[in-house]
Amino acid sequence: MLKPGMILCDRYEILDVVGAGGMSIVYKARDHRLNRNVAIKVLKPEFSNDKNFVTKFRIEAQASAGLTHPNIVNVYDVVDDEGIYCIVMELVEGITLKQYIEQNGRLNMETAINFSIQIASGLEAAHENHIIHRDIKPQNIIVSKNGNIKVTDFGIAKAASSNTLTSGAMGSVHYISPEQARGGYSDERSDIYSLGITMYEMVTGRVPFEGDNNVSVALMHIQNEMIPPRQYYPDIYSSFEKIILKATQKKPERRYLTASALIADLKRVQNNPNIDIVVAPTSITNSPTQEWTKEDVQAIRNGSANRDLYSQSYDNPPVSQEMGEIRPIGYNSTPQANSGRINELLQEDEDEWEEEYEPEPQPKRGNLKKVQDYDEDDEIEEEEDPDDIDPGIRKAVTIAGVATAVIIAIIIIVVLGNVLGWFKFGSKKDDKSKITTEQVQSIAMISVTGVSEDAALKMLSDAGFTNVKTEHVEDEKTQEGYVFEQSVQEGQTIPVDQEIVLKVSAGAEEVDVPEVTNYEDAQAVTLLQEAGFEVSHAYDYSDDVEKDKVIKTEPAGGTKAAKGSKVIVTVSNGSEKKEVEVPNLGGLTEAQARDSLTSKKLNAGNVTHENSDSVAAGMVISQNPARGTTVTEGDSVDFVISDGPEQKEKKYTASISGTITCNDAALDGAAVTVQVVFNGGAVYEQTVTVTSGGSYNITATVPNLSSQGGSASFVVLAGGTDVTSSFSVPAPNVSYSEE
């Protein structure tokens, strides 16, 4: 794993880990050359050491780097730095569609249609550039913060699918198309199928197929019909449901041919939810599911079946090579004993696949007219090319000609032989018919133990048996719906109309789960085992249930569960709260104090503020309880935050001075009053006896001012009359001092 601060290619600085997948780890990084943040997907060492995989990976990544579209995560660069292989991509702030569904539940119709159009638009751009994604799923779709959709990992899936990878590295098979699951040819329609499954999950909150392992899910994609979305939620638009059903048809030719056609229907539904969408009828054979052991698969590979499960004519291998690791429930035959049936089923299965899923010849792009969509009765219009004959048609014509010639030769031989007496058709005809009839009516029984009821009935019908009955019996060892016993043993020759009885598991008998809450663990185990259940344990803390007593069971007490099934008993570890020491919060900021308390599983209590001449503003002055005090986890600690020294209001004193001169002889010897006016108010008075031509100094002070600034003037009064005009009165000088 790369560490923050590392530099790749003297350009990309690793900042943080964004996430991890099966094949790679994604980092947030800084591109110092272009001064922008990017996402870097780094291959894990187990893939970086595979030169074949790395070569394919680089080729596909470079091809996807040519894609530029608003709904595709742009690829900027492909990097190789001393064995570290990675892709530099656009950094999209958001979450995956999978996380979006998990957080918000199933999406409303408007959002689901909007997201579907955006995803399909990204696929449309890729398909036009001859790039198939091959791994469309919600985990590879990013919902940005502004609601835009970005599809990522273009080209990577192809590199992965062309190498032998574990199922863990390849991710989930819940979205895989049937042709991919069978290891067949995949094209643009495979992406459309996977998008259809994604749309299904968007509106239902679930995937259509769930199984115990990847193999069972893959088989469901091949042969099981999905439950229509409206059976879960009737509020889903019928038209949108039809789009999903059309996109997820088993046969590729029944799906939308192009992403453009899918987008056209999505926009029609967006504009008019009541519009009708045509879906081609489903026609899938109900062939039985056959599962193999590793020995079976190895025997087939070694030539005992004279076939190769993994045909070299296909571009992609099967979804998982683990298919041979699962045996049917109740299956106890050796590989040698079943080799004939394996070959027979393998031949039937592959013949059916070749008939249903053989890739159609791709017409030249120049001759193909624009096709929006087609149904079962529609035709794709092509310009005729007399020299361009379909190899399949040529082969069919050749076979038909040979067959006709053989039939004509047989007819000639029979007629000629009858005329010349080569064949004797006479009295022994009835005897020969009788012998032939008797031979046809008695055939060897086959084994159907360990397969599903429907599959068993079809296998017996195909073998020629006409009188098969089933009995549903409770059985703890066999999965519900599977045959665990047959009345006629394998290999026994019987008439085709002889009654055959199959015992089918109805599941284990359901019994009541004892209520053991608050019981001692040992006592609870005894009661559950006596009721016929297996017991496993889980442990949890509880403030309400004493240590070593039962908190709950799963399934809950009082409900019914299959006899022999497992019951999980959750036992109390007692109260989870512990005693801790209160940390020292002094000198910490409020945020730091809260983090310190959280690390000790304590809570911040009452937080107050006060002035302090000794503690800087924003720092903790004091706390309660004091540091080092022992308290219980979950308790609260109060603390006081400093607002710094108290701010006192400043006061100022204004000093005013000036000189006045008497210019009026009439005022000789008169006593006048000189007023000092400051900011419009008289703040000082002084009585002066004046003589004509005499000058007099006037001074005054004005204390307790809140600010510096103001205007001052002198006014001269004689007997209450303003005689300022009889004096020379210049503007006073004003100065200020802080008190």
Torsions phi, psi for 295 (to 5 deg):
-65, -40
Q: What angle do CA 301, 307, 313 make, to 5 degrees?
A: 100
Q: Is 534 exposed, middle or buried (0-12, 13-18, 19+ CB in 10 A)?
A: exposed
User: Torsion-angle region of residue 130: left (phi > 0), alpha (psi -120 to 50) or beta?
Assistant: left
Question: Quick check: 27 and 2 in contact, CB under 8 A?
Answer: yes
Give every CB contact of residue 103 below 8 A, 6+ residues apart in sequence.
95
- 469 has which bridge partners? 501
Which secondary-structure segment (H or E) carries 470?
strand 468-473
Decide: 193 and 123 in contact? Cβ < 8 Å.
no
| Orientation of helix 109-128 relative to helix 259-271, angle to 10° | 160
- According to DSSP, residue 478 is labeled S
- C-alpha neighbours within 13 Å on the C-beta side of residue 529: 8
Instruction: Number of helices (H) and strands (E) in the chain: give both, helices first.
Output: 19, 32
For the annotated catalytic residues, the residue numbers are: 135
Helix, strand, or coil here: 499?
A: coil
Q: What is the DSSP string of 611-652?
A: --SSS-TTBEEEEESPTT-EEETT-EEEEEEE--S--PPP-E
Helix (H) / strand (E) element for 592: namely: helix 590-599
Which residue pairs from 705-708 have beta carbons closer than 8 angstroms and sit at least 24 positions apart in sequence? 705/651, 705/652, 705/653, 705/654, 705/736, 706/649, 706/650, 706/651, 706/652, 707/652, 708/652, 708/654, 708/736
Backbone phi and psi for residue 348, each to the nearest 5 degrees, phi listed first: -60, -45
Whether the ω angle into residue 555 lies within 30 degrees of 0, i.e. cis, is: yes
Strand pairing class (534-540; 566-572): parallel
